[in-house]
Amino acid sequence: MGETKHTPRVFSGIQPSGNLTLGNYLGAVKRFVEMQNSGIETIYCMVDLHAITVWQDPETLRHNTRELAAAYIACGLDPAKSILFNQSQVSAHAELGWVFSCVARLGWMNRMTQFKDKAGKNAEKTSLGLYAYPSLMAADILAYHATHVPVGEDQKQHVELTRDIANKFNHDFKVDFFPEPEPIIDGAATRVMSLRDGTKKMSKSDPSDLSRINMTDDTDTIAKKIRKAKTDPEPLPDNLDDLAGRPEARNLINIYAALDGKTPEQVMACVAGQQFGQFKPALADLAVAHLAPITEEMTRLMADVTEIDRVLGKGADRAAAIAEPILAQTYDIVGMVRSR
């Protein structure tokens, strides 16, 4: 991790919008666990306020938030080591998000590709919250003076915007208060692609369930989805350069590498010459070996939601103890009277 004068602290989050995917696991949660186990202070959130930027059924949202907490823990996040909580329980996020909405410029927001992708042709009908999403995300990170943010490739632009917001705030108020956090995007699976279209990101909200592997899929479903994954009739070559123009094949190699803790080059060396009929069952076995114990543990944890809620409440108390003083100092810097 790069140099910074602020104490290193990691923050990241995932929306509890259901269907946690293999992309979320490899691009985010698996790396959250590695960072937790590296000894650095780690704070991981279920960003429920972000989830409501698109319609969420209230009961489903509650279920999905608890299920995401169960997934975090089942994947190896330990509430005794990392601070785990849901965003709406710490009001500093929403408050600082407002301040940052007043710092960020419309021109900056207009450049956000995720908004353009998600809003599509229907921008007039999307919520104001979806548009303002990146300033709330900046608040999530900066409410903890976090210095490092592990994310998938698709979130890089939002972390860069967070840096711009921190920088403008410091400049406008002539302070050196907020750090400029670094996105941490590494490993073989920074952008896991759809199993149906190798040019599209694997996403929770893709209408096709066959496009993604969900963390709650059973063994047969995982094997079926990999068997049905779009590929081409060519055998696998022995080097990555020869995969150019074969995005589906490249994606499956990347997934294999990330699951197996290898580089894509190492995987290519082992699978050279194989047809997909041989490679896909090996990939399915590897995916099941990784995901089945996680799914089983999620099911066990979800049998006791009272315990999950207790963990989230305790995590929120610990998070608030860090974020509230930072918010209070922000209000002082901005010029708010605080008399209670």
- Residues near ligand AQP (CB under 6 A) are 14-15, 17, 21, 23-24, 27-28, 151-152, 154-155, 189-192, 201-205
Report which DSSP code applies to 27. I
3-state secondary structure (DSSP) of residue 8: coil
Closest to ligand AQP by CB, 71 vs 192, is 192
Q: What are phi and psi of 268, to 5 degrees?
A: -55, -40
The CB-of-134 to ligand AQP minimum distance in angstroms stands at 11
Chain centroid to Cα 89, Å, comes to 19
Nearest to 165 by CA among 218, 105, 228, 239: 105
Q: Which is nearer to ligand AQP, 119 or 333 (CB)?
A: 119
**Distance set, CA 326 to CA 95, 96, 200 (Å):** 11, 9, 38
Of 43 and 189, which CB lies nearer to ligand AQP in the complex structure? Answer: 189
Residue closer to ligand AQP (CB basis): 258 or 284? 258
Report residue 109: phi and psi, to 5°.
-65, -35
Nearer to ligand AQP, 41 or 206 (CB): 206
Which residue number has the CB closest to ligand AQP?
A: 27
Give the DSSP per-residue string, 243-285. Answer: GTT-HHHHHHHHHHHHHHT--HHHHHHHHTT--HHHHHHHHHH
Indicate if the alpha-carbon torsion angle 288, 226, 156, 55 is positive or negative: negative
Q: What is the largest CA-CA distance in the chain?
A: 72
The torsion angles phi and psi of 230, rounded to 5 degrees, stand at -65, 130
Residue 292: both structure tokens together:
């089945």
Shorter beta-carbon distance to ligand AQP: residue 203 or 295: 203
Contacts of 168 (CB under 8 A, 6+ apart): 103, 104
Instruction: Tell me which residues are annotated as active site.
Output: 118, 201, 204
Cα–Cα dist 22/138, whole Å: 25
Buried b (16+ CB within 10 A) or exposed e, 228-240: ebbbeeeebbeee
